[in-house]
Structure 1
Amino acid sequence: MEKDTASRHRPVMLDRCVDLLAPALTRPGAVAIDGTLGMGGHTEALLERCPEARVVGIDRDAQAIALASERLARFGDRFVAHHATYDDIAGALAEVDAEAADGILLDLGVSSLQIDEAERGFSYAQDAPLDMRMDRSEPVTAADLLRDADERELARILRVYGEERFAPRIARAIVRRRDSEPLSRSTELAELVLEAMPAAARHAPGGHPAKRTFQALRIAVNRELEVLERAIPAAIDATAVGGRIVVMSYHSLEDRLVKHAFAEGAEVDAPPGLPVIPDDAQPYLRLLTRGAEKASEDEALANPRSKPVRLRAAERVRPTPASRARRAA
């Protein structure tokens, strides 16, 4: 089973993630948090590269935790699983009785496990029930959302979360369709989106026209941006001085949140021209990447799911000044 799990998943920018985190994980008892465990590829590499470290892997998907735990069993108590959304950094630290983390990794978006299993309903390319829940114990599916949300809310979801310029047309088509029969299958939704588009937009570059609609519904069903808005400040607050945070985003909405939080922590919070910068105005983060890094051309060819990735990393250089912590809260 361990070999099968590894073969099903190719971690994105694996070496770069480990290279960025490893310098903070050299001391005995160092703690890393893999906030998006998935099938455990990044965690496995960290445990192999950093023999002094323990890793707590967070995932909201119980199936992912089961597969990753089996894969990582050979590391004994150096790996601990935590079933939660990735903003529960405090809960992950409590699993190993730690006050702070030395390294935190967040690989955002949908996992290979969820995409590849047709019955999860994440893909417009495979016929399946419109589910899209990362945690199947949650009550609301994509089909429920499409059935119950009004036209205005559907248009907002598609416009904001999918950056879909034809959101009003698609929302109107969904409401018309459900008057006779609710949408319940992924292929039904993909066909409806295609039909709702202007003819010229149906063959535009950038993949299937339904891609943005599926992204938007997935984000809404799983409240992904709400979780991320809590997770980034929680991760920064939980990182020890000298510790590092690596975040991989897959669309501009995620990347914008990460960029803003890192930039805020890395800038001087004082008027320009002061002869001496007060301690509480000093940066508390140091950026480790220049802008957002992308996967190499070779990796993008070998693993198409790495093409949209944007990686940002930062190092904690001092505690957050109380005045800035209150403002962020």
Structure 2
Amino acid sequence: MNVMDVSNEGNMSANGTMNILNISPPLNNAINTFTVIILFITMISLGCTMEMSKIKSHLLKPKGVAIAMATQFGIMPLTAFTLAKSLKMDSVKAVTVLICGCCPGGNLSNIFTLALKGDMNLSIVMTTCSCIAALGLMPLLLLIYCQGFSGLENAVPYMGILSALTFTLVPCGVGILLNHYKPKYTPVVLKSGLSILIISGIIVFSLSGVAVKDMLWVILTADVIAVAALMPLIGFTLGYVMSTICRLSSKCSRTVSVETGCQNIQLCLAILKVAFPPEVIGPMFLFPLLYYTFQCAEALLLTLCFRCYQMVKSFS
């Protein structure tokens, strides 16, 4: 069994229509290149927000990080597996959802942690630690959960995923070292990186739209939309509940909540686009963008509710 076998089940929709995506090699290579650029810039920017002293302080008192790691790699993969199973997704959809659920936390969580007045140091340390831990945990979790789906036991390209995870550590390390030894350059890197990130994101979105314009309906089905909407919401909710049960402060609980629900969408997109042939993964490589949309919308809603609660509390 190999990755090509996954497509045997996933290439047929409910009405028997073939879902094979044929992308010309130049277009496919262009999407792959800009996807990797996005991941590279994202991880450098994440590294530039890290300070070794703050990393050390949280590692010496690891309760918050340990709880956040447990929720990140416990709740999200299980949620992805449960949703994919309960909705009876085919192999291609299931492996896409599982990869998204097993991904480490993303740096979007740092932005929403700030908006929710959480512990920024914990958020940044947690994002970095989860990216490092994912090197071992992500392939292991995929190996375990893929056993529950026929045809996926040996179909996941683990070496491709390991290569992508290893690749993320290099720019992150560069960013950490740059912030430690040349902190005056950090603002410049972050600003220029944001510009490159926006431009690359627009290019990837445009090229992907050209590539899947006739197959976009494949990811806009009820089951895929339901998973994209429910996964982050469950992550936010259970992350907060678990951290509260473990008696973390309200500030830290909000941080763990956001860290749990926010996945590294850039990494997920890179894995789906680079590790799988386009004729296997098809338009489902766009699932992370759908998840990202719901993730942002729900995090913004949580932020709005929290801010309203604070306003009401201040007047009472």
Q: TM-score, normalised by structure 2?
A: 0.28
Structure with higher strand content: 1
Q: TM-score, normalised by structure 1?
A: 0.27
| Rg larger in structure | 1
